[in-house]
Structure 1
Amino acid sequence: MNDLDDFRAALRQPPAEPFAEPDLARIMADGTRIRRRRRVLTSTAGVAAAAAVVLVVVFALQLRQPAPAPVAQPPSPVTTTSTTPPGPAADQPMGEVIGTGIRTGRGEIVFFARAVELPQLPDIHFGLVAGFRSGDTLQSVLMTNEFRGSDRSFGFHATDGGELSGTEVIPVFGYFAGQAARITTTVHGKTVEASLAKWTADPNVVVFWFDPVAVPNSAVLTPLIAYDADGKRLTK
């Protein structure tokens, strides 16, 4: 008999102690725990895999989104200094501006003197301007001045006005060199008195103007008459 025969004979021998019956309940419980653990591990792996997929998708979306446009910054303020010189002295009023109290859509009608410097008029140094005043703004409309002799010789000078500037009527106006306290004219047989104001640059010069309703233009005037404070007639 060889070794193989001995091994086969040993397998045929009954065991010294009989085998115990298998504990099927314990085997099933152990198998259940193993399966549960595998399911948990599998679920954990699935969650990790899903999280990885989400991260990849989010990262891909971020890569596909365009970069935010840069926000435009407002430019820094630039300080500029005006180089426009002030108007020449000839354009500035001489003395105070005279208000008439006549209000229009363009402002109050006013009068003021302005310098005249012309070689051909050596004795004429100023003219009288009619215009509008709105706030601090002056608008010149009509300027008149003496054109012969002296601008301050006794008597009436530079009578003008009674015309339209747009839709506004510029009153008939002028000035008198001398101590006039009253100036009148006659319109259609009726005596009309002028409003008066002394020129602050020379109190011997009296600026006058007529109500446009009473004296619509200079064509209706009769010769002007000036009186002093005592009512004495100064002109013929």
Structure 2
Amino acid sequence: MNDVDRLREAMAEPPDQCFAPVDVARVMRIGGRRRARRRLLTGAAMIVAFMAVAGSVLGVQIFRDAQDHSTVTVSAPHTAATDVVPMGTVVDTGIADAEGRAVLFFAHVRDATGSAKYQLVLAHKAADGKLTPTLTIDADLSGNGFHSVTTGHPGSYVPLFGFFVGPVQHFKSVYAGGPLPVDGQRVPELNVTIFWALPKYDAEGITQASVVQLSAFDDQGALLDYGQGPGR
């Protein structure tokens, strides 16, 4: 018997161990359960990932909202001298009453000691162009941020005004738990932006004891680093 015959004989012999027939139904059930488990684990992982991303976005939004405003104490204005002269741009606020249109401008004056200083002046402008100053506040032009934030009362036609040093595109303000509309205009001569609150019923109560929230944003809508609270 050669090697080929021996190989043929070995292959013809029955195996030493007998195997049970395959239970096809059982195999299908086990495979189905494993596939379901994999789908469940994959779905859970996707949900966890989605919640992590959503949570981070929500967290950023909450953080941004929390950073949007900073508390500012309103200063008391003084009665303006009738002979102050505007220096540069006279800003028309668009607010009018029986005495004329409300305007804001800077003036260069001297105090009792003869020292020069700037003032921010609130005035009425009549139809013939005559200016009648009513209120004023000293204006420090150094340092970025909010300056000279003051109430427009007792003049009562501008609830709040002030100016901002630094590049700014728009403002937000909150008073008494609600938004207070704020507008602004650049004064190129001094490289500052005058801002003022628009008339609103619940803003009539703003005084030097009031607390207002103000914030400033750049042209991309981002909160300015120094856009919270009064400039120092």
Given the two structures, how large is their TM-score scaled by the length of structure 1?
A: 0.53
- Cα distance change, pair 126–185 in 1 and its aligned pair in 2 (3 A): same
Correspondence for 2:123 = 131
Correspondence for 1:113 = 106
Higher RCO (Cα < 8 Å, 6 or more apart): 2
Correspondence for 2:153 = 163
Correspondence for 1:95 = 88
| Contact 1:170–1:212 (CA under 8 A) maintained in structure 2 | yes
1:160 shift after superposition: 1.1
- AA at the equivalent of 1:145: D
1:222 shift after superposition: 2.8
1:198 shift after superposition: 0.6
Correspondence for 2:195 = 208
1:117 shift after superposition: 3.1
> 2: distance between equivalents of 1:187 and 1:223?
6
Correspondence for 1:33 = none
Correspondence for 1:39 = none
> 2: distance between equivalents of 1:169 and 1:95?
23
1:109 shift after superposition: 0.7
* Structure 1 or 2: more strand by fraction: 2
Alignment of 1:1-236 (within 5 A): 91-118=84-111, 125-134=117-126, 135-146=128-139, 150-165=140-155, 168-202=156-190, 204-213=191-200, 215-216=203-204, 217-218=206-207, 219-234=209-224, 235-236=227-228
Paired residues in the alignment total 140
- AA at the equivalent of 1:210: A
- Cα distance change, pair 152–211 in 1 and its aligned pair in 2 (3 A): same
> 2: distance between equivalents of 1:191 and 1:105?
27
> 1: distance between equivalents of 2:144 and 2:94?
28
1:211 shift after superposition: 1.3
1:224 shift after superposition: 1.3
1:201 shift after superposition: 1.4
Give secondary structure in 2 for the equivalent of 1:96: coil
- AA at the equivalent of 2:150: D
> 1: distance between equivalents of 2:172 and 2:88?
25
Identity %: 26
- Cα distance change, pair 132–223 in 1 and its aligned pair in 2 (3 A): same
Deviations 1:50-82 (Å, cap 9, x if unpaired)?
Answer: xxxxxxxxxxxxxxxxxxxxxxxxxxxxxxxxx
CA RMSD in angstroms comes to 2.4
1:221 shift after superposition: 4.0
- Contiguous gaps of at least 5 residues in structure 2: 1-82
- Cα distance change, pair 119–151 in 1 and its aligned pair in 2 (3 A): farther
| Contact 1:185–1:221 (CA under 8 A) maintained in structure 2 | no
